[in-house]
Amino acid sequence: MAVQKTIKRPVSIEGVGLHSGKKVKLTLKPAPENSGIHFVRIDTNPALKIPARIDYVLDYQKAPRRTAIAKDGIEVHTIEHLMSAVYGLGIDNLLVEVNGIEVPGLDGSTQGFVELIKKAGIEEQDAKRVEFALREPIYVDNPNGISIIALPYSGLKVSYTLYYPNTYIGTQYLSLEVNPETFVNEIASGRTFCLECEAEELRRMGLGKGADYSNTLVIGESGVKGNTLRFENEFVRHKILDLIGDLSLLGCFLKAHIIAVRSGHYINIQLVDRIYRQKTRTEQAGLKAVSDFDPRGKDVLEVVDIMKILPHRYPFLLVDKIVYMEEGKKAIGIKSVTMNEYFFMGHFPGRPVMPGVLIIEAMAQVGGVLMLSNPIHKGKIAYFMGIDNVRFRKPVLPGDRLEIEAEVTRVRSRTGQLQGTAKVDGKVVAEAELMFAIVD
């Protein structure tokens, strides 16, 4: 099981922003598990914390040629190189304090940030790493021949084609699996670049005030000016570096194969936004354990314990307690049906009867507790995939005490089938076969 990571101790570095040209000090600090990556503008009063997530990304028109985040009018620019290092080294939780509007550019790559993080030391935490495995392909393009696609994949793989016709860059292609080793050896030292013919236009736009030959590869007609390449294909390596930094704004680690053709920050962010929406839809469609609560060793799970496992809340939490649990095999839950139940107000109010669909839902919730309480399923999502052989034997009335059994009848690596039975006073009132799928 992959676990979350932070750094062991605070570390600092100073430098100049590539676009602002202003000197800035940046400090990395450890952060608790499940907190994520946050930037903190310590030069504002009060200091403002900004999550490094897609929903805080500043409009590209306000921050061209870079990735920036903003909250309450306070901004942090050019975060992509640092975020690439954070993602590439597998850091989940981190505080990034900065006393200016822009992250220092250093040498134009992420190598300095990698060395800074290694100097701080990397520390494992107890919580399981949050990952999202892409479910369906996502494609983004524009009329200029720029495109990016994400495909389901077992890890993170990036395949990038860089195309600068009639220039020294020409066409470059690189495809690799992204992990800490490949990131450090193949990606981290790739530096930012621009064509010499673009440089003056960027200056007129107010960009590149801190850029020079030491931190930006300037490409003339015959090659790189005032510097030497670290790799023959350093340009495409830097584009992958930028892309990884933008992917980190998903707020978790991604499992997908990213295929990009000439993509930059603008289209990268569009892709991340669509992946984020798919992730949100996926989580909303299934049951996901809301904490790392471990029910083993408890004879009875009270409602407060159930709410640590299931995301349901009043009025849709239909189980009062779990009175029996055999890990991975069987669970028994109790639902006391009272006249005060909300559904009795509109469901045959003259002769109140508990709706059959809610009895089945109560079965599914007991089944969800059974599936999600298994330690091997921590952090995973249980999808209620189907119902079969449903039978309603007797009506359930106010004052009844439902005893709901969920027993595993068949289980595979990713799916499970349960037999659900609801009883009142030992007599079966409803039964059904329930199918679940367990996904990361």
Pairing relationship of beta strands 253-261 and 131-133 according to DSSP bridges: parallel
Domain ranges of the chain: 3-285, 288-439
First vs last Cα of the chain: how many Å apart? 12
Query: Residue 437: which pLDDT band, with cuts at 50, 70 and 90?
Result: confident
Phi, psi dihedral angles at 418 (to 5 degrees): -120, 150
Give the pTM. Answer: 0.75
Contacts of 214 (CB under 8 A, 6+ apart): 107, 227
> 3-285 has which fold?
lpxc deacetylase, domain 1 (3.30.1700)
Query: Residue 311: which pLDDT band, with cuts at 50, 70 and 90?
Result: confident
Identify any residues that bridge with 21 across adjacent strands, giving them in sequence order. none
**Residue 249 above 80 pLDDT?**
yes
Report yes or no: 242 and 264 within 8 Å, Cβ to Cβ.
yes
Pairing relationship of beta strands 287-288 and 122-128 according to DSSP bridges: unpaired
**Span 26-34, average pLDDT:** 96
- 283: nearest Cα among 379, 176, 423, 364: 379
Q: How far apart are CA 261 and CA 427, in angstroms?
A: 64
Single-letter amino acid code for the residue at 392: F
Report yes or no: 440 and 412 within 8 Å, Cβ to Cβ.
no
- 263: nearest Cα among 286, 240, 285, 282: 240
pLDDT digits (tens, 9 = 90+) for 131-171: 999 989 999 998 888 999 999 999 999 999 999 999 999 99
Phi, psi dihedral angles at 84 (to 5 degrees): -65, -45
pLDDT digits (tens, 9 = 90+) for 69-101: 999 999 999 999 999 999 999 999 999 999 999
The mean of the pLDDT values for the chain is 91
422: helix, coil or strand?
A: strand
Residue 292's CB is within 10 A of a number of other CB atoms, namely 14
Integer Rg of the chain from CA: 27
Output the pLDDT for position 439.
72
Q: Which CATH class is domain 288-439?
A: alpha beta
- 3-state percent breakdown (helix, strand, coil) of the chain, nearest 5: 25, 35, 40
Q: List active site positions.
A: 265, 347
